[in-house]
Amino acid sequence: MLDLLVTNATLPDGRTGMSVAVQGGRIVDVTPGLAASAAETVDAGGCLLSPPFCDPHFHMDATLSYGLPRVNESGTLLEGIAVWGELKPSLKADDLIARALTYCDWAVARGLLAIRSHVDTSDASLLPVQALLEVKKRVAPYIDLQLVAFPQDGVLRTAGGVDNLKRALDLGVDVVGGIPHFERTMSEGAASVKLLCEIAAERGKPVDMHCDETDDPMSRHIETLAFEAQRLGLQGRVNGSHCTSMHSMDNYYVSKLIPLIAESGVSVVANPLINITLQGRHDTYPKRRGMTRVPELMAAGVDVAFGHDCVMDPWYGMGSADMLEVAHMGLHVAQMTSQAGIRACFDAVTVNAAKVMHLEGYGLAPGCDASFVLLQARDTIEAIRLRANRLKVWKKGKLLSQTPELAARLHVDGRPSSVNFQV
Ligand code: FE2
């Protein structure tokens, strides 16, 4: 007998009337109209069953700290870094852990079950690192939390920056991070990329760098990152996050750059909510969007995913762990309004993000983990349009969260008694 059988589901690839059979925490069959006895059977009613949402770029050490010690008035990246710098000396591990755990509760309810979080390694105390390693341990039964050693203040610009980053890796942080555009000069930025990739190669770690999060078209650290990935044999293990300067670059230069990124197997994560608010702040009108070239990178075969980046922190006061909100903004900013474009934006917060994170057992196929989300939507396009309600969320066959079906009751004479925003 099966542990769980979900029937009459629509899958992200468009197949309808599908049954997903679960045994021992794994998917054992995905087939149309399967009738088998199971300890629990759930009729999906034609709704979309998706693998869980994945956030490949987040800052869990800063999340839910909005207003501490003050709000970022200018809304710029640099004031955000300054506010975070003011908060850091008074950070307490217990508070940081409590905020992170609350965020993970939100994530579960949103069907977001894998998060790659950068963690600030600038301070010699490594307090955020130790706190998030504790969070990683506590949430392991329900969230795959990957940590990136992130030298927020610049690995070369900060005294002891390299040593602190290496100690974070020694403590068990999974990925090597960086922030070359925040180093003092372009050449120092390039040197930091080279150094950090060499550290990753020596230790057999992946790389995920904040790269060119600026409007300056001359910020070209992604080029160095792609070069180093190839030189050190790190193809498929390196990610460039943000890459917003690519928005402002000359088209001719980009025509050389994108094939180089594709050739080096470097993936790219855009963060639409944050890129659209932080970038273009020095522009009058027209104001640049400031998000990297998503459709062009995808067309070149680069794995492109979307991250949330921030929720209620010094850089961004909005958000609720909703990766459909991220995908919704992404399709607007990138003008990916065709049906294929919208579906690609759904992939950017599911399969593409899982690939960036090298998640094992991810997907809706026999042998994969029985981790999935039932959405109150009939397909991926409707899911993004509605930022659809997550009816049920399972992790390895275990129900983690459920939300009642959403319907507004209408009191309008001669009109239906309820609406759910589906036509
Ligand atoms: Fe970030």
Q: What is the pLDDT of residues 157-195, one digit of tens each?
A: 999 999 999 999 999 999 999 999 999 999 999 999 999
Amino acid at 228: E
Choosing from 213, 223, 228, 325, the catalytic residue is 213
> Ligand 1 centroid to 60 CA: how many Å?
10
| CATH number of 21's domain | 2.30.40.10
- Mean pLDDT of the chain, nearest integer: 97
- Same domain as 241, residue 98: yes
- Same domain as 111, residue 25: no
- Same domain as 85, residue 20: no
pLDDT at residue 198 in the model: 98
- Same domain as 367, residue 266: no
Specify the number of domains making up the chain: 2
DSSP alpha helices (H): ranges in 140-184?
Answer: 161-171
DSSP structure class, residue 316: B
pLDDT at residue 345 in the model: 98
> Ligand 1 centroid to 400 CA: how many Å?
28
Give the integer Cα–Cα distance in Å for 19 and 38.
12
- Same domain as 28, residue 171: no
| CATH number of 346's domain | 3.20.20.140
- Same domain as 68, residue 30: no
pLDDT at residue 35 in the model: 87
In the predicted structure, residue 22 carries a pLDDT above the cut 90: yes
Give the integer Cα–Cα distance in Å for 314 and 317.
7
| Residue range 259-267: mean pLDDT, rounded | 98
Q: Categorize the per-residue pLDDT at 359 as very low, low, confident or very high, splitting at 50, 70 and 90.
A: very high
In the predicted structure, residue 77 carries a pLDDT above the cut 90: no
Q: pLDDT by residue (tens digit) across 269-325?
A: 999 999 999 999 999 999 999 999 999 999 999 999 999 999 999 999 999 999 999
Burial of 189 (0-12, 13-18, 19+ CB in 10 A): buried
- Same domain as 64, residue 46: no
Give the integer Cα–Cα distance in Å for 326 and 110.
12
> Ligand 1 centroid to 341 CA: how many Å?
24
pLDDT at residue 241 in the model: 98
> Ligand 1 centroid to 312 CA: how many Å?
13
Q: pLDDT by residue (tens digit) across 364-414?
A: 999 999 999 999 999 999 999 999 999 999 999 999 999 999 999 999 999
> Ligand 1 centroid to 251 CA: how many Å?
25
165 lies in a domain?
yes
417 lies in a domain?
no
Give the integer Cα–Cα distance in Å for 225 and 204.
16
Q: Is 213 a catalytic residue?
A: yes
Enclosing domain of residue 165 = 53-357
423 lies in a domain?
no
> Ligand 1 centroid to 182 CA: how many Å?
12
pLDDT at residue 211 in the model: 97
414 lies in a domain?
no
pLDDT at residue 257 in the model: 98
- Same domain as 387, residue 277: no
> CB of 84 within 8 A of CB of 53?
no
In the predicted structure, residue 126 carries a pLDDT above the cut 90: yes
415 lies in a domain?
no
DSSP structure class, residue 309: B
- Same domain as 326, residue 184: yes
419 lies in a domain?
no
Express as a percent the part of the chain with pLDDT over 70: 100
422 lies in a domain?
no
- Same domain as 330, residue 307: yes
Express as a percent the part of the chain with pLDDT over 90: 99
- Same domain as 130, residue 74: yes
37 lies in a domain?
yes
- Same domain as 26, residue 164: no
End residue of a domain, out of 339, 357, 375: 357
| Residue range 348-352: mean pLDDT, rounded | 99
| Residue range 115-122: mean pLDDT, rounded | 98
Q: What is the largest CA-CA distance in the chain?
A: 71
